Amino acid sequence: MLKSRLKSVPLAALAGLAALLLAPAWALATNGLGHALPGQIGLQEAASPIARELHTFYDLTNIVIIAIAIFVLILMLYVMFRFNEKRNPTPSTVTHHTLLEVAWTVIPILVLVVIAIPSFKLLMNQYTYPKPDLTIKAIGNAWFWEHEYPDHGNFTVTTNMLSDEEVAERVAKGIPSPRLLSVDNEIVVPVNKVVHVLVTSNDVIHNWTIPSFASKTDAVPGRITATWFQAEKEGVFYGQCSELCGLNHAFMPIAIRVVSEGVFNEWAGAMQAKDKKKAKEILDKVALEQAGIKAVAQSGAPEAQ
């Protein structure tokens, strides 16, 4: 009687714990396209093939970690219950058990192999650079970013974070602008194209990253590091300098606006012609469209879709 009751306890505990631990992570994993949300658990929504692969790997390792934690917890509870002084007054004197020792060596090795295979595959894919459709050079400065477009006449986009007042102004216009992430000049790339990012720094070590693309690399003075991404969705994707670089480290965000190829060419043409006003108009219009509001060219007033 006691034995059968004991058997069902670990099973129920396992199911309960699994539900408790996994449900919130998976339920919220789809939140926050392009940036994190308050209270979000899990990673930012994936918007590139590498990011999707990384999420699959993240889920796999989480399952392994949680399963091991639950297994060890159940073992400990069992030992505490079954082999305490009261229930087991004369302890066993066994010191070796060949089969058990082989098992607790071989099973962890197999678990590591199961983790290592997709891990090496992901690393290889991250560092295998497909032929680029566009190359951007990102330069870290204390404390802002510059991005050069060598394929399009080498114009430069200088990015500074928006102040709270500027954020409020843009929000009033109907353009979603998260605080501490929104910038004055967004970097623009075409959707579904392979973009190489060459990264360097003018002063100290910074780090260029866009979590939704699973792109991240240090910006080291005197060196070029590289990363690449292929944005699969239109929209705006944010990152922040991820190497502690000094006073305003927290205030040098990166914002990438992913647009259709036509819009990109229009914008790049305006930037090449040094028509910053036109480039800004193109971006504001796209930002409104992507926010689900169509800018009415004639009246100039935004209209809900």
- Interface residues toward Cu ion, by CB under 5 A: 206, 241, 245
Distances (CA, A) of 123 to 32, 38, 193: 25, 30, 21
Question: In the complex, what is the shortest distance from the CB of residue 144 to Cu ion, in angstroms, rounded to a whole number?
Answer: 9
- Compute the radius of gyration of the chain from its Cα atoms: 26
Chain position carrying tokens 């996994």: 22
Closer CB to Cu ion, 206 or 257, in the complex: 206
Question: In the complex, what is the shortest distance from the CB of residue 283 to Cu ion, in angstroms, rounded to a whole number?
Answer: 24
Closer CB to Cu ion, 45 or 218, in the complex: 218
Question: In the complex, what is the shortest distance from the CB of residue 196 to Cu ion, in angstroms, rounded to a whole number?
Answer: 21
Question: In the complex, what is the shortest distance from the CB of residue 208 to Cu ion, in angstroms, rounded to a whole number?
Answer: 9
Question: In the complex, what is the shortest distance from the CB of residue 269 to Cu ion, in angstroms, rounded to a whole number?
Answer: 31
Question: In the complex, what is the shortest distance from the CB of residue 181 to Cu ion, in angstroms, rounded to a whole number?
Answer: 15
Distances (CA, A) of 305 to 134, 263, 275, 284, 289: 33, 20, 30, 17, 9
Burial status of residue 173 (CB atoms within 10 A of its CB: 0-12, 13-18, 19 or more) = middle
Question: Which of 60-90 are b and which e, b meaning 16 or more Cβ less than 10 Å from the residue's Cβ?
Answer: eeeeeeeeeebeeebeeeeeeeeeeeeeeee
Closer CB to Cu ion, 43 or 139, in the complex: 139
Closer CB to Cu ion, 159 or 230, in the complex: 159
Chain position carrying tokens 């082999």: 83
Closer CB to Cu ion, 181 or 245, in the complex: 245
Q: Are strands 134-141 and 194-201 parallel, antiparallel or unpaired?
A: parallel
Closer CB to Cu ion, 43 or 241, in the complex: 241
Q: Are 229 and 249 in contact (CB under 8 A)?
A: no
Q: Which residues, 6+ apart, have CB-to-CB distance to 239 below 8 Å?
A: 208, 209, 210, 211, 215, 253, 254, 256
